[in-house]
Structure 1
Amino acid sequence: MGVNDYLTSPIEVMEIRHDGYMRVNLPIVFSCYNERGQRLHGSPRSIHTSRFPFSGPLNKFVGVGCDITARLQLSDPIVSTRCTSNCKQHKLVKNGSCNNVGCCESIITPGLTHARIVIEPNENYTRVRNYSKCGYGFIVEKNGYNFSSSDLEFSTMKKSFPAILEWSVGNTTCEEAQKDIKTYMCKDNTVCFNSENINSPGYRCECAQGYSGNPYSLNGCQDVNECEDPKLNDCMQGLCKNIIGSFDCVCPKGQQGNGKRDGKCIPDAKSENGSAIRGISEGVAGAALTMIFVYLEINRRRKIKGKKDFFKQNGGIMLQKILFTCNDPVNKPNIFTEEELIKATNNFNDANLIGQGGYGTVYKGHLGKNTLVAIKKAKVIDQSQINQFVNELIILSQIDHPNIVMLVGCCLETHVPLLVYEYISNNNLRHHIDMNRKLTFEKRIKIAIETAEALEYMHSTMRIIHRDVKPSNILLNSDFTVKVSDFGISTFVPNGDTHLSTFVKGTIGYLDPEYFRTGKLTEKSDVYSFGVVLIELITGTEIHSMEISLTVYNGAAAYLTSLLKQNALDRVLDDELKEDKYAEVAKCVVKIAISCLDLEGKKRPTMNEVKQELEKLKSFI
């Protein structure tokens, strides 16, 4: 294997996990220079991970060296990443700290499968002290590298580090894969999840609740005995009975009632034991009952305290302060108890499962006889998710618009928080595009207009920027009425401000390149994302699947402009829109999309202008 191709050769797999991640071993990239900054050894290297993208949240890009810049170059330079390290203040070189002195770090772009690592000297490159004249760059899992000043010497630097890739099965959705039982990989007692990565289509499997093991192996998911672990059941001590996939809290023989910690077991008058108990002296019986009541009261108080702790953990105190003290919300959310939502979903039964994502699972629920709701349950909880959870509650409580999903309420007393929304019956736009649903031009224009109306309302009336406009966040009712959803990373813009300087958040492919480059967020960032959605709406395919280069941000607009000049839009239009009567309208829609995709935010139209242009087209269909 030659020096110049070692990163394109087979990658060593160290571990494959059932949760959709694998750990691999990647060599470092290095370049060494003379006193004038001219390269002596080493060269840039390319990374190819096939269909398995790097995990953005679980990895980082690291550069090590003195007066060097480490670059992770993508095919689109706008979304490439880099960091710079120097050693002029060599006294600040500190073990364990990547503070741009001897070591620097940068984030990994989500969905990355192909990139090039380049190490180059800074413009004012000088050799510092006795440190190596070499610089290093590598992708490594978040906790997989701890800087040491000795790493500035070539002889001591490790030659490889572990990194985390995401994996999935096949190249179809769960729904499609389940149609062929012979090739469907999820075995008994499992749940299927669609891949959320646009560069890695497919699905993955997990053992259903109450089971553990290998979901891809026959009989791999085995029943978990919840009775062996008090954390997995809510029964009083000694009253747990394991059943396949779950457990029951039963009362001792001769007693009846509720064997849960907050329940009560009482003697069964019809049993022989009941007769024996009645024969015990009143003093002993009274003492026994007193002990039982004391025990139950202690457990009741423990449960109350546990719920209060969860309430605080899940942001309840912060939510109360913001919603019920500072503001007068338009839609004050209902606070549901855990018992109410367990009953509504039949204990979160898989039969009520209607959607899954990277952060949570959505269940259909029945509140009363006629009220359908969608209940989002977080998979795990950390501080960032708490912040997103509270953020979505606050924003939706301020919004009242027919094209924005309505928040019904929440539950904060559980281990992970629960959000309750109105139930939307017709899935989302991503589903209809991926499943090649035959949407008429009228329906597509209706979806585009109503999405634009929702965003225009948010921008002009509420001064809210969504930050994650994409087809999977555009829900559809049975009559194709739009309901924009998922406000976890949305934000308010203070009055008088033209933009926000903030950490970049969103979905690659729909993310405004100007925002990505500068960190300055404006309403025009949503306009850009809407432009990508508009293209996918009329082409019936993801923008990444079109006949354009991977430089999506600049390529899509340029490619569509070229097709307009050639009068060749038929090459990309969905089959439903290729009739001659739609030709002029299709051109107008494409021109609107191109204007939204302008690389300069100030040149893009406002959502109000986009809405007005789209409404003009309705009468021509």
Structure 2
Amino acid sequence: MSRMPTTALLLIVLHLLSVAAAQRQASMALPGCREKCGNVTVPYPFGIGAGCYRDNRLSRDFELACDDSGPSPPRLTMVSRRYRLANISLAAGEATTYLNATRSCYNSTGGLVDRNRNTYMSINYHSSYLFSSSKTQLVSLGCPTLGYFDDGSGHYVSGCMSVCRPAQFDLPGRCTGVGCCRSAIPSGINFFEPKQTNFPRGQPRYETIAAEATSCHYVFLVQTDWFDSEHVIVNRTDDFEVPVVLDWAIRNARKCSAAMGNATADFACRGAHSECFDVDNGDGYRCKCSKGYDGNPYLDGVGGCIDIDECKDTDKYVCYGVCTNTEGDYTCKCPPEETGDPYVKNGCRPKDKFTVALKAVTGVGVGVILLGSIFCGTCLALQKSNLMRTKKKFFEHNGGVILQQQMRSYNGTTGGASGGFKIFSSEELKKATNNFAADQILGRGGHGIVYRGVLADNSVVAIKKSKMMEEAETKEFTREMLILSQINHRNVVKLLGCCLEVEVPMLVYEYVSNGTLYQYIHGDKGLNADTALDTRLRIGAESAEALAYMHSSASPPILHGDVKTANILLDGSLTAKVTDFGASKLAPSDEAEVIATLVQGTCGYLDPEYLMTCQLTDKSDVYSFGVVMLELLTRKKVLCFDGPEENRSLVSCFVAAVKAGRHDDLMDGNVRKEMGPEALEEVTHLLMRCVSMSGDERPGMKEVAERLEALRRYQRHPWGHAGGGDLEEGEDEKSLLGRKQQCDVDYKFRPHDVLDLEGDSTYTYSL
């Protein structure tokens, strides 16, 4: 019998070793199923072909198809929806697809001339996919346009506004609102249908945001890091695709605990060393291999997650001693004749006795430690000294020295304390708010964050931490603080003090316990259809008295600039208190109008005249207060995107209802029940004057307060209620309203003069 040649025997051994190694490699697809479509790996639970994917019984989202029959590159698609997939990540639970960007093009007069097919993506309720809120955002290209999308039921989800600016005045940054804007999307979104609102050209009120308008506007969802490449071309007119990231999960159970408790064959984590974890986006769970294992945790048995040989991956698993692989882990020890730390380079040393050299090294080490301790102590002392100097620098920069002098001067003049106004240290406010803890936040606004704080004397206060302050505002800060601190009105939130040793000064106000008027009107508890009309009129009258006091009695007069229900607080007895002077201005002594470079305020409450002229006057507050009274009497939000375009603004609806004689229907249930026709006409006339487009036609806040208080007194009499009996001819002396009713008034207001923007959001327009 002849012997087998040595070369042939060696080849057989190598083949057997390669087969054994292949058996230990992690598999991604089910046995016998296709694992690749072009350069895209298709891991199970995804699969191409029958029996190769996970069937979740509610949808076939994991069934994929690969078209590689033509000359073009292979195309991987979802069978159930025909969306193309460019990538699938098993570890991240993500899949990348492509959508066409929605395009609308307009001519020089603003007329629509072309648009592509409205692109939308619908994922049903039981789908395994949701849009990734962390890696996907909404983008609107071109200007001027408002791009947004809804949830399929007509409810707004997310959007942004892109305006135009002449090329010679370009601002730094990419996609920051000029020619291009972007906004985040919330989690749990499974439907996307883009929509646009165009702003017609050639109209004076749009000329600032429509300068050099682009011919085409786009709105689309896109992968967030798409902006890292050169894709943002504002003036483009072509059609293009954008990548969109989807989060996938096993969603036949809400959480791992529910899926594991079922303990059926439907549980997705099938690997012998797999684990289940809950996902962040929506309901459901995903699987991962346990520590020390790698592979596909969705495959059955030991073929899915296999042991990692940590000793072969020295970059990730460090060992400078003797490494031994174990099942799911590894050990690292120094050689038998050495001791030390095998996880540190040169950490293993021979087992020698404590030699003289080692003692010398130890002594040197102790000395170094002592010197290091002295050095660290000196550094800490210097750091504390630098911190004190920085606080002093901020204190002086923010006008603290001047404010102290003014307070001493005021105390000397009045012979007492400056209205209880105090300058707090930053440490006092940190301690009062538990270092500005998140659970102490009372609210967030356009100008900063308000925290609840408890001072050393156990008094509860509200501390406003502003976001920023311009240099011009800093110069006037001390003067304004001292003037605002002197406001002593029961319906104005009291300013108790400030902190000036920080970069942006913090303000300390009295604490009002019952939330905002907005929460009272639109929240789950508070105002409802049965709330007495007298309560509503009292809140309105108290708020009007506070504004009238600031306009007429403060010296110098104070213009609020951002009157809205969110800036009117209610105490335990529902007494109104006006707050948030973040947009307020001190009226000049010569009564000249305040001219602003930035229009500040809240959409829906903004005075249209102020928005167009940048001139803030006391009549701007009157307009905003008129909107507040409408909101209080109708219990409707000032802006609503659910209905037709002409009904989105509460002011527009009110004016249209008055024109048609249907304003009674707009009022809340108890208002219609209690208010008689004479009182209804009085309040209608007053509110129509308040929301007039012309500031000259609006009443002063003092007159508004007096009218509301008179209306309230009138309502308390029997003849003031609906159904309380008609007044006889000649009984005008019984009327507490103080004027003859005007039922046929030429109201000069056009519904389309109100900007159609998102409600309850504070914006700043650069004009």
1:101-500 aligned at under 5 Å gives the runs 115-117=196-198, 135=215, 295-296=376-377, 298-309=379-390, 312=393, 317-320=397-400, 323-324=403-404, 331=419, 333-357=421-445, 360-378=448-466, 381-384=467-470, 387=473, 390=477, 393=481, 396-413=484-501, 417-435=505-523, 437-438=526-527, 439-460=531-552, 461=554, 462-500=556-594
CA 1:298/1:153 → structure 2, altered by over 3 Å: closer, same or farther? closer
- Conserved 8 A contact 1:7-1:27: no
Structure 2 residue corresponding to 1:23, chosen from 116, 137, 144: 137
Q: Work out whether residues 425 and 501 of structure 2, in 8 Å CA contact, stay in contact via their aligned partners in 1.
A: yes
1:234-270 deviation line (CA, Å, top 9, x unaligned): xxxxxxxxxxxxxxxxxxxxxxxxxxxxxxxxxxxxx
CA 1:616–1:518 in structure 2 vs 1: closer, same or farther (change >3 Å)? Answer: same
Paired with 1:556 and 1:362, the residues of 2 have a C-alpha distance of 34
CA deviation after TM superposition for structure 1 residue 572, in Å: 2.3
Matched, 1:561 2:633: no
Report the Cα distance in structure 1 between the residues aligned to 2:217 and 2:688, rounded to whole angstroms.
37
CA contact (8 A) 2:465 2:505 kept: yes
Q: Distance in 1 between matches of 2:631 and 2:471?
A: 29
Measured at CA, do residues 525 and 344 of structure 1 come closer, stay the same or move farther in structure 2, by a change above 3 Å? same
CA deviation after TM superposition for structure 1 residue 456, in Å = 1.0
- 1:545-596 deviation digits (Å, cap 9, x = unpaired): 4988246386144234136x34x51x22223323245554344223211110
Aligned partner of residue 119 in structure 2, secondary structure: coil
Following the alignment from structure 1 to structure 2, what is the Cα–Cα distance between the partners of residues 493 and 319? 21
Question: For 2:219 and 2:420, how far apart are their aligned partners in 1?
Answer: 45
Identify the match of residue 600 of structure 1 among 671, 694, 698: 694
Gap change, CA 1:119 and 1:611, over 3 Å in 2: closer
**Residue number in structure 2 paired with 1:90:** none
Report how far residue 443 of structure 1 moved. 1.8
CA displacement, residues 103-134 of structure 1 (integer Å, 9 cap, x when unaligned) = x95899999x96544686999xxxxxxxx998
Counterparts in 2 of 1:532 and 1:45: CA distance versus 1, 3 Å:
closer
Q: Which residue of 2 aligns with 1:49?
A: 149
Q: Assess, with a 3 A threshold, how the Cα gap between structure 1 residues 396 and 307 changes in structure 2: closer, same or farther.
A: farther
Q: How much has 1:544 moved relative to structure 2?
A: 2.5
The separation in 2 between residues aligned to 1:607 and 1:110, in whole angstroms, is 38
In structure 2, the partner of 1:10 is 120
Aligned to 2:65: none
Partner in structure 1 of residue 11 of structure 2: none
**1:476 CA drift (Å):** 1.0
1:427/1:476 contact within 8 Å kept: yes
Deviation of 1:484 after TM superposition, in Å, equals: 0.8
**Structure 2 residue aligned with 1:514, among 609, 631, 652?**
609
Query: Which amino acid in the other structure matches residue 469 of structure 1?
Result: V
1:371 to 1:46, Cα distance in 2 relative to 1, 3 A: closer
1:619 is paired with a residue whose SS is: helix
C-alpha change, 1:117 and 1:364, in structure 2 (3 Å) is: closer
Amino acid at match of 2:535: K
Matched residue type, 2:119: S
Helix, strand or coil at the partner of 2:599: coil
Residue 335 of structure 1 contacts residue 411 of structure 1 at CA under 8 Å; is this kept in 2? yes
Shift of 1:450: 1.4
TM-score by length of 1: 0.57
> Which SS does the other structure have where 2:543 is aligned?
helix
Q: Give the Cα separation in 1 of the matches to 2:282 and 2:501.
A: 34
Single out whichever of 583-592 and 492-501 deviates more from structure 2.
Answer: 583-592
Distance 1:593-1:371 versus aligned 2 partners, 3 A rule: same
CA distance in 2, matches of 1:133, 1:216: 39
Match of 1:578, SS? helix
Alpha carbons of structure 1 residues 10 and 27: separation in structure 2 relative to 1, 3 Å: farther
Out of 637, 640, 647, the position equivalent to 1:542 is: 637
Query: Any gaps of 5 or more consecutive residues in structure 2?
Result: 1-99, 104-113, 123-129, 185-193, 205-211, 244-252, 255-278, 287-365, 411-417, 717-767
SS of the counterpart of 2:611?
Answer: helix
Query: 2: distance between equivalents of 1:445 and 1:24?
Result: 43
Hey, what does 1:61 align to over in structure 2? 163
Larger of the two Rg values belongs to structure: 2
Amino acid at match of 2:138: V
AA aligned to 1:535 is L
Read off the aligned partner of 1:376 and give its amino acid letter.
Answer: K
1:193-226 per-position Cα deviation (integer Å, ceiling 9, x unaligned): xxxxxxxxxxxxxxxxxxxx96979999xxxxxx
Of 658, 668, 688 in structure 2, the residue corresponding to residue 574 of structure 1 is: 668
Q: 1: distance between equivalents of 2:431 and 2:203?
A: 63
Pairing 1:528–2:609 present: no
1:296 to 1:109, Cα distance in 2 relative to 1, 3 A: closer
The answer to whether the 8 Å contact 1:307/1:414 transfers is no
Is the 8 Å Cα contact of residues 15 and 24 (structure 1) preserved in structure 2?
Answer: no
Closer, same or farther in 2 for the Cα pair 1:474/1:114, shift >3 Å?
farther
Distance verdict in 2 for CA 1:145–1:591, change over 3 Å: farther
Equivalent residue number for residue 41 of structure 1 = none
Letter in 1 for 2:605: Y
Give the deviation of 1:471 after TM superposition: 0.3
In structure 2, what is the equivalent of residue 186 of structure 1?
none
Cα distance in 2 between the residues matched to 1:133 and 1:17: 31
Counterpart contact for 1:5–1:45, Cα < 8 Å: no
Distance verdict in 2 for CA 1:513–1:309, change over 3 Å? same
Q: Are the equivalent residues in 1 in contact too, given 2:562–2:583 (CA < 8 A)? A: yes
Number of aligned residues = 439
Secondary structure in 1 aligned to 2:540? helix
- State the alpha-carbon separation in 2 of the partners of residues 306 and 292 from structure 1: 21
Return closer, same or farther for 1:577/1:356 CA change in 2, 3 Å cut-off.
same
> Cα distance, 1:304 vs. partner?
4.1
Give the SS at the match of 1:543: coil
Could you tell me how far apart the structure 1 residues matched to 2:659 and 2:182 are? 29
Identical counterparts, % of pairs: 29
TM-score with structure 2 setting the length: 0.47
Q: Please provide the CA RMSD for this pair.
A: 5.3
Counterpart residue identity of residue 511, structure 2:
Y
CA distance in 1, matches of 2:147, 2:697: 36
